[in-house]
Structure 1
Amino acid sequence: MATKASNTVAAALASASDTPLTPANFQRLRQRWKATVTGKHVRVNSDDVYYALSKLSGTAEQYIANMQPSRVHIWEDLSPIHLSVNFRKSYERLRTIAQSYSIPGSIHYHDLNVQETIIQSLDFISSEIYNASVVQAKGENWWNFRIGAPLALVDIAILLYDDLTPRRRHDIGATIIKNIGSIGQRSLKGANRADICLALIGAGVITNEEAEVSRGRWCLSDKEYDGENSIFELVESGEGLYEGGSYLSHEIFPYTGGYGVQHYYSLSKAVNVLSKSPYHINSTELQVTFAAINSTFSPVMWRGMMMGHIRGRDIARKSEPDAFWGNLFLQSLLYFADTELVPREHRIFFKSLARSIWEAAPLPDLYGLNITQAFGMQKVLEERIPPAAPPIGTFATPMSDRIMHHRPEWAAALAMSSSRIGRYEALNHENLRPWYQGDGFLYVYTDKDPLHFSNDYWPTMDPYHTPGVTNGQNPQDPPAYKFTAHRDWAGGLDWRGTHGLAGLDALSTDKGSSAKKSWFFLLNSIIALGAGCAGLSGTEVHTTYESRNLPISGSNFSINGDYQIMNPGWIKPWEETHEQVDWAYLDSFGGYVFLDKEPVSFKHEKRKGKWTDINQYPDYLGFSDPITREYLTIYRNHGIDPEDGRYAYALLPSASPDETRDFATIPPVNVTHNTPRLQAIQFNNTVMANFWSGGTIGYLTAVTPCSITWGYSGVEDKYLTISVSDPTQKATRVVLFLNDPDIGGVAEKDDSIQLRWGRAGETGSVTITVNVEGTHGKTHRVSFERISWRGTLESLPWRPPVKETATSTTTTASRRVRPAATKKPFANNATVMSTKAGHKPAPAKYKTSTISKTSIGAVKTVKSVKPSVGTAKPSVGTVKPSPGATKSSLRTRKSSLETITPEAATTSIVLKSTTYAASH
């Protein structure tokens, strides 16, 4: 890694001009910097620009009106000024006023009284506390001194550059340089490195000091340590971009939606400002940066917002909602797109992606664009650049223990933790109720209620009933900082890009509850299994299926089709346990199907809270108003200190009541195993399983623990494809044994996979050894030719060399007839749905099959494929009910078919034994 980074730095150094910066160069740098703060002023014809300018002017006017200068403060609520958080926030307010002073059309544009107010305030802060002689007091937050205050001060000085005396400019630059201090620390990585470098470049631009511009520029590349911590490269530890789509901060916390966005914002601003100077950053250095836009950032966005599972402690900040970080990422894209050194195709794609973020926002004023973003988007709209397609499919980022699953009308994000990744981040008195945020928290976003997590969710949610989590109900101690989970297993894989599998060996922080947990992400549903649910805390152990923050307008709810009383403004809460319940439906979400027919508890309540209940950092103490929200909670009570509790349920986001009832009546998914050793499901011709201790399903045996999915793939199911991963990231190899008479030679395989065939001259028996050492939980794949496919072995593409499959290339003298299929997938195995008579088929946009490879300029999307005639044949064990069939008769007839032996089935994927099956 260091060698590669060093080569990149050397190439960049070679391209830099030896010509010193001239006064004209510095003038150009200041002009470009000013444009990043105020936007490029063009004719205003956008509602977003009018709104942003009005909001900016109004906020600045309020700040000016509330000024109460004294010996200890400028604003009374930011007193005393000697506290770093107060002088930093004072600078940020002055920046807002300076923006309003500098933008034509603002009520403060070139107002001399406003100009004098800003300059006097700068002089006051400099004389009292923040100057080139200040020494950081013990206990103060270093970030305010080295990053927060400098970045705000640079913007102010450049906005008012012509109004400041040379002496004031010199003092401001000296103050920034002194407080930033040394930038040679190896620990300076990611967002913090980008921020500090940007501030240094700004200090040089203010004072015409080329040395500081140079120092900040080459610190981005970490020239001092040969690129070891270059923010242009992937990292292997600490803060920054990791292989496989992860962004970590503070070593162990997934933070794509917080520090990751800040990293890109500061870097993109530096790229934009320097683009016309000899210190420009060329596109060669930015290759990794641009690639991560697709692999790291797009998958964690939904409807223009950053998902909560990668925002760390930022979720506890009222003033920085998920849309705030989405807009900041949009601004980063616009900065990159406004840089001529960036290749044209990249610039067009960045504008296209920015437009998709802007258009996807559920409400235009959810968290309005700032003035720079508004001007940038006006330009994109004028250029008529179409929006980029949203991501569709499953995205696993094993280095951060996260899984994202995107569908056309909903999305899900799973937050796990392990011996590698922290459960939660609680720092600086922020995020004070985080206990189970990394224990299998399943975020589900739907178009039915797009503002669910933005509707004051975090201060009002029940931290002991977190969706997806199994935990004891005993009170937890105050949160600690920077520790990982107790166990290794957390991760999963994606299947053909459209489906996903995840598993978590959960043991709570206090070791009071544990469970083996699996999630299966399908096209129209999420299947959740749990086994070995146990407790030692002396309290009940609950698995929370749902804890939904209901819209202010209310939401209808039904159990087995019977609607409950849940009118808006109700007074009396209710809680009840149903012994026999098949399904439930919530208008603002979709459907819930209870696959094991065990007792389920429902609770409808009002919950009260304040943002200051979860955030006591001085920045956010103003958000102390009481809030009330309505919640529906669905959970399984495993009892007090259970030893082997279980659960099995399905979530059907955005489904209709009829679709939910049909799923419950004849589930299109068969739960084949749900034990602490093996959890697995089968649908169509696909099996997905977490082998916690190894085991056998049908023709396949896992000798070692692993996550695995296998099934038919390719046009008309030509191949049998196996995907496997090591979620523990501790194994050196995973060993599988496949004894399937339907497999022939190898179609393709990853280099990490070795095959050892069975008896000479025969196909169908193969030992698969996967080298997983050092692969950090990534997915490994191998595809075999299916002998029973229509055609001969010779007619199949990608024939393996004879030396590789010498024992697997024997062909029959005549054409081998494909066995009569008793089930065949919809649209090339892509649709999971019931075959019950009268079932409404999924819209065509759901019947998807082709995933495009992610690359610059192309987000991972799904291409609709029209199903071929005759592909919608019912699955094994499904019964087409007669028009008058009752639910009980359907169960009886379906149950009788579950006794069919594996030998009686004719599909290639045969379940050897069913240790756990859902009753239908």
Structure 2
Amino acid sequence: MAAKASNTVTAALASASDMPLTPVHFQRLRQRWKATVTGKHTRVSSDDVYFALSKLSGTAEQYIVNMQPSRLHIWEDLSPIHLSVNFRKSYERLRTIAQSYSIPGTIHYHDLNVQETVIQSLDFIGSEIYNASVVQAKGENWWNFRIGAPLALVDIAILLYDDLTPRRRHDIGATIVKNIGSIGQRSLKGANRADICLALIGAGVITNEETVVSRGRWCLSDKEYDGENSIFDLVESGEGLYEGGSYLSHEIFPYSGGYGVQHYYSLSKAVNVLSKSPYHIDDTELGVTFAAINSTFSPVMWRGMMMGHIRGRDIARKSEPDAFWGNLFLQSLLYFADTELVPRKHRRFFKSLARSIWEAAPLPDLYGLNITQAFGMQKVLEERIPPAAPPIGTFATPMSDRIMHHRPGWAAALAMSSSRIGRYEALNHENLKPWYQGDGFLYVYTDKDPLHFSNDYWPTMDPYHTPGVTNGQNPQGPPAYKFTAHKDWAGGLDWRGTHGLAGLDALSTDKGSSAKKSWFFLLNSIVALGAGCAGLSGAEVHTTYESRNLPIIGSNFSINGQYQISDPGWIKPWVETHDQADWAYLDSFGGYVFLDKEPVSFKHEKRKGKWTDINQYPDYLGFSDSITREYLTIYRNHGVDPTDGHYAYALLPNASAAETEDFATMPPINVTHNTPKLQAIQFNNTVMANFWSGGTIGYLTAVTPCSITWGYSGVEDKYLTISVSDPTQKATRIVLFINDPDIGGVAEKDDSIQLRWGRAGETGSVTITVNVEGAHGRTHRVSFERISWRGTLESLPWRPSAKESSTSTTTTASRRIRPAATKKPAANHTATTSTKGGHKPAPAKHKASKAGKTSARTTKAVKPVKTAKPTKSVKPVKTVKLAKTNTQVKTDTSVKLVKSNFGTTKRSPEAEKTSLRTPRTSPGVTKAATTPTIPKSTPYTTSH
């Protein structure tokens, strides 16, 4: 990686070495920089621009009116100004005023009194507080000195460039260069490197010093260490972009929605500013950067907002909500799109994605586009560029212990931790109640209540009832900083891009509670299993199914169809346990189904809090008003210090009450195992399982621990595909054994997989060895042809290509017979078979049909499969023999393209549904050879 980066740096350096910067170059650099701060001024035609101008004018006017200059401060609330946080924030306020002075349409545009006020304030800070002679005091935050203050100061100096004397410009540039200091540290990576490089480039632009511009430019590529810490490449440790879509900051914290966005913002601004100079950054260096837009950032956004599970301690900042980071990422896309060196197809896609972010926002002025973002979006709208399709499917980022699942109308994100990844970040007196944020926190976002996590959730939520988490109710002490979890297992896999599986070996920070936890992300539901729930703290251990911040409208709640109502729109306050709760429904969320028929507790309460309860950093001490919100909490009480508790439930986001009741009456999934050794579910022709210590399900035996999913794939279920991963990231190999008479030849396999057949020249019995050393938890796949499938490639309506395909196939869930008195089950609980890049098995060779002939195709009626109703009885787990179920035919010829990887497309699962036929039996195939391998539904059992 370093050698490759070194070659790129050398080539780019050679192109710039013979072209020194001229005064014309510096003038263009300043013009482009100014445009990134003020926006490109065009005719105002957008409500967003009017709103941004009004907001900018009002904020600047407020700052001017509240000025109280003295020897100790410019603003009284930022006193004493010699503290780094106060002079940095003073610069940021002065930048806002300078923007209002520089942009036509504001109330301060070219007001000489405003200009003089800003210049005098700069002189005061520069002479007394922050200059080339200042020494950082012990205990001060280095970020204010090296990044925060320099970036604000550069913007001010460029906005007022023509109004500043050459001496002032020189002093400002010298101050920035001196306080940034050395940039050769190997620890300087990711967002911090991008910020510092941008500030250096700006300092050189202010003073017309090419050496400073050059230093900042080549720091981006880490020329000093041959590209070892180049922000254009993937990293293997520390801060930055990782393989598989992860972004880490401070070595162990997932941060694509915070530091990752800041990384992209500063890099995109540098790319934009330098694009017309000899020090430009061309697209040959930006391949990894552009690819990560889809793999790292799009999957962690919902409705234009950055999800909370990848924002670290930023969730505790009132002034930086999820929409703020979504808007900042939008601005990065606009900077890239406004750079001619970026290929046109990329620029168009960036604008398309920016428009999708803008249109998806549930409340456009939730935080509000700033003036640069507003002008940029106005241009995109004038170009009539359509929005990009939102991501659909499951996205796993194993290097950061995160899984995202996107469906039409809702999305989910799971935050886990391990011996590799920190549980939470609590730094600089921020995020003061984070104890269980990395212990299986399940975020669920829905169209029914799109602002759930933006509605003052973080200061009012119950930190001891975090959705998805199993924990003791004993009080926790002050949070520590920078430590990982106790266990290795945290991760899972995606199944053909549409479904997901995750598992967490949970042991709390104080080691007072533990559990084996699994999540199954399906098309219309999330199934959660827990086993081995135990405690040692002398307190009750709870598993929280839900803790919902209730909106005023849409908060009606029912249990088994009976509504709990006091006043219209609000549920009555209570705390109670139901022994016979089968399902529940919340209007502002959807449904909850309790699969194991055990007691469930419900609590409705008013919760009070202040943002300063969770953030004591000086930047955010102004948010001390008391806030009241109403919460609905659903949880399982395992008792005091349990030894082997368990749970099983399903979430149905965006479902109706009727759909929830149907799911509870006749579950479309079957929980086959829920023990500390094995947790698994089966639906249609698919089985998903976490083998905590190995075991057997049907024809498949896992010799070593692993996460695994197997089932039918391809056109007409032609293949049996197995996906497997090592969530511990500590194993060297995974060994599986299959004795399935329906397995034929190999259609496709990853290079990491080796096969050993049981008998030479025969099929059906095979040992699969997967080399997972150094794989970092990624998914490995192998596909076999099914002997019971008898057809030719030429007879199919679509011929699988020899390599990956973007076609998806959807099958309707196998229906189960219910008692006559019950309602018809929900029709939209379906299982999808689709393919992402690398998922589609290649076909084996078949004899070609005669030229010009097309095989006739017919669809046979399929009878529903009988199933046993789930029972409460606890029985020892028996090995479940798998038996295939037939599927009903459902077709849909519409096709909708969804962006899945940069520069590629895939079809959305619900947009194309290819009909599935009953496999034919060819002469010579015995009945035993065609015996189905997926089981009929078996009663839910729990074994300890």
TM-score (norm: length of structure 1):
0.91
1:13-39 per-residue CA deviation (whole Å, 9 max, x = no partner) reads 233251211111000000000000000
SS in structure 1 at match of 2:615: coil
Contact 1:554/1:567, CA 8 A, preserved across alignment: no
Question: How far apart in 2 are the matches of 1:272 and 1:264?
Answer: 12
Structure 1 residue 744: deviation in Å? 0.3
1:542-572 per-residue CA deviation (whole Å, 9 max, x = no partner) reads 0000000001335100000000025479797
**One of 916, 932, 936 as aligned partner of 1:908:** 932
1:473-503 per-residue CA deviation (whole Å, 9 max, x = no partner) reads 0000100000000000000000010000000
Q: Residue 517 of structure 2 aligns with which residue?
A: 517
Structure 1 residue 8: deviation in Å? 1.9
Structure 1 residue 899: deviation in Å? 11
Q: Residue 877 of structure 1 aligns with which residue?
A: 866
In the alignment, structure 1 residue 475 sits paired with structure 2 residue 475 = yes
In the alignment, structure 1 residue 650 sits paired with structure 2 residue 650 = yes
Classify 1:212/1:842 alpha carbon distance in 2 versus 1 (closer, same or farther; 3 Å): farther
1:82-138 per-residue CA deviation (whole Å, 9 max, x = no partner) reads 000000000000000000000001100000000000000000111111000000000
Q: Residue 818 of structure 1 aligns with which residue?
A: none
Q: Residue 353 of structure 1 aligns with which residue?
A: 353
Q: Residue 819 of structure 1 aligns with which residue?
A: none
Classify 1:874/1:468 alpha carbon distance in 2 versus 1 (closer, same or farther; 3 Å): farther
Question: How far apart in 2 are the matches of 1:902 and 1:730?
Answer: 31
Q: Residue 28 of structure 1 aligns with which residue?
A: 28
Q: Residue 419 of structure 2 aligns with which residue?
A: 419
Question: How far apart in 1 are the matches of 2:493 and 2:883?
Answer: 31
AA aligned to 1:917 is T
Contact 1:465/1:544, CA 8 A, preserved across alignment: yes
Contact 1:441/1:467, CA 8 A, preserved across alignment: yes
Contact 1:217/1:279, CA 8 A, preserved across alignment: yes
Classify 1:892/1:535 alpha carbon distance in 2 versus 1 (closer, same or farther; 3 Å): closer
Q: Residue 610 of structure 1 aligns with which residue?
A: 610
Q: Residue 626 of structure 2 aligns with which residue?
A: 626
Question: How far apart in 1 are the matches of 2:622 and 2:363?
Answer: 25
Taking the TM superposition and a 5 Å limit, the aligned residue runs for 1:495-894 are 495-553=495-553, 555-565=555-565, 567=567, 573-791=573-791, 828-829=810-811, 839=824, 842=827, 849-851=833-835, 853=837, 873=862, 876-878=865-867
Classify 1:269/1:205 alpha carbon distance in 2 versus 1 (closer, same or farther; 3 Å): same
1:497-556 per-residue CA deviation (whole Å, 9 max, x = no partner) reads 000000000000000000000000000000000000000000000000000000133510
Q: Residue 890 of structure 2 aligns with which residue?
A: none
Taking the TM superposition and a 5 Å limit, the aligned residue runs for 1:11-410 are 11-410=11-410
Question: How far apart in 2 are the matches of 1:215 and 1:840?
Answer: 66
AA aligned to 2:110 is H
Contact 1:685/1:829, CA 8 A, preserved across alignment: no
In the alignment, structure 1 residue 440 sits paired with structure 2 residue 440 = yes
Q: Please, which moves more after superposition, 572-581 or 329-338?
A: 572-581
Contact 1:697/1:911, CA 8 A, preserved across alignment: no
Classify 1:905/1:464 alpha carbon distance in 2 versus 1 (closer, same or farther; 3 Å): same
Q: Residue 886 of structure 1 aligns with which residue?
A: none
SS in structure 1 at match of 2:265: helix
Question: How far apart in 1 are the matches of 2:860 and 2:408?
Answer: 23
Structure 1 residue 709: deviation in Å? 0.1
Classify 1:827/1:584 alpha carbon distance in 2 versus 1 (closer, same or farther; 3 Å): farther
Q: Residue 821 of structure 1 aligns with which residue?
A: none
Structure 2 residue ranges without an equivalent (≥5): 803-807, 840-856, 886-930
Question: How far apart in 2 are the matches of 1:254 and 1:872?
Answer: 50
SS in structure 1 at match of 2:810: coil
Question: How far apart in 1 are the matches of 2:790 and 2:600?
Answer: 47
AA aligned to 2:381 is L
Classify 1:782/1:424 alpha carbon distance in 2 versus 1 (closer, same or farther; 3 Å): same
Structure 1 residue ranges without an equivalent (≥5): 801-825, 856-867, 880-889
SS in structure 2 at match of 1:256: coil
Contact 1:469/1:544, CA 8 A, preserved across alignment: yes
Q: Residue 865 of structure 1 aligns with which residue?
A: none
Question: How far apart in 2 are the matches of 1:690 and 1:872?
Answer: 35
Structure 1 residue 434: deviation in Å? 0.2
Classify 1:271/1:744 alpha carbon distance in 2 versus 1 (closer, same or farther; 3 Å): same
Question: How far apart in 2 are the matches of 1:675 and 1:166?
Answer: 74
Q: Please, which moves more after superposition, 756-765 or 173-182?
A: 756-765
AA aligned to 1:363 is L
Q: Residue 884 of structure 1 aligns with which residue?
A: none
1:681-730 per-residue CA deviation (whole Å, 9 max, x = no partner) reads 00000000000000000000000000000000001100000000000000
Contact 1:591/1:660, CA 8 A, preserved across alignment: yes
AA aligned to 1:760 is A
Question: How far apart in 2 are the matches of 1:854 and 1:295?
Answer: 15
Question: How far apart in 1 are the matches of 2:711 and 2:182?
Answer: 56
Contact 1:670/1:917, CA 8 A, preserved across alignment: no
Contact 2:578/2:600, CA 8 A, preserved across alignment: yes
Q: Residue 9 of structure 2 aligns with which residue?
A: 9
Contact 1:673/1:917, CA 8 A, preserved across alignment: yes
Question: How far apart in 1 are the matches of 2:633 and 2:757?
Answer: 52
Structure 1 residue 603: deviation in Å? 0.1
SS in structure 1 at match of 2:527: strand
Question: How far apart in 2 are the matches of 1:236 and 1:762?
Answer: 43
Contact 1:26/1:205, CA 8 A, preserved across alignment: yes
AA aligned to 1:828 is T
Contact 1:659/1:839, CA 8 A, preserved across alignment: no
Contact 2:815/2:865, CA 8 A, preserved across alignment: no
1:213-270 per-residue CA deviation (whole Å, 9 max, x = no partner) reads 0000000000000000000000000000000000000000000000000000000000
AA aligned to 1:877 is K
Classify 1:209/1:683 alpha carbon distance in 2 versus 1 (closer, same or farther; 3 Å): same
SS in structure 2 at match of 1:245: coil
Question: How far apart in 2 are the matches of 1:894 and 1:577?
Answer: 20
AA aligned to 2:810 is N
Classify 1:611/1:626 alpha carbon distance in 2 versus 1 (closer, same or farther; 3 Å): same
Question: How far apart in 1 are the matches of 2:872 and 2:679?
Answer: 25
AA aligned to 1:510 is D
Contact 2:596/2:648, CA 8 A, preserved across alignment: yes
Question: How far apart in 1 are the matches of 2:612 and 2:816?
Answer: 47
RMSD of aligned alpha carbons: 2.6
SS in structure 2 at match of 1:16: helix
Structure 1 residue 850: deviation in Å? 3.9
AA aligned to 1:108 is H
Identity of aligned residues (%): 87
Structure 1 residue 852: deviation in Å? 5.0
Question: How far apart in 2 are the matches of 1:798 and 1:439?
Answer: 41
Contact 1:746/1:799, CA 8 A, preserved across alignment: no
Classify 1:913/1:762 alpha carbon distance in 2 versus 1 (closer, same or farther; 3 Å): farther
Contact 2:471/2:514, CA 8 A, preserved across alignment: yes
Classify 1:705/1:891 alpha carbon distance in 2 versus 1 (closer, same or farther; 3 Å): closer
Classify 1:136/1:368 alpha carbon distance in 2 versus 1 (closer, same or farther; 3 Å): same
Contact 1:552/1:568, CA 8 A, preserved across alignment: no
Q: Residue 903 of structure 2 aligns with which residue?
A: none
Contact 1:252/1:420, CA 8 A, preserved across alignment: yes
1:15-64 per-residue CA deviation (whole Å, 9 max, x = no partner) reads 32512111110000000000000000000000000000000000000000
Q: Residue 810 of structure 1 aligns with which residue?
A: none
SS in structure 2 at match of 1:236: coil
1:145-185 per-residue CA deviation (whole Å, 9 max, x = no partner) reads 00000000000000000000000000000000010000000
Contact 1:470/1:513, CA 8 A, preserved across alignment: yes
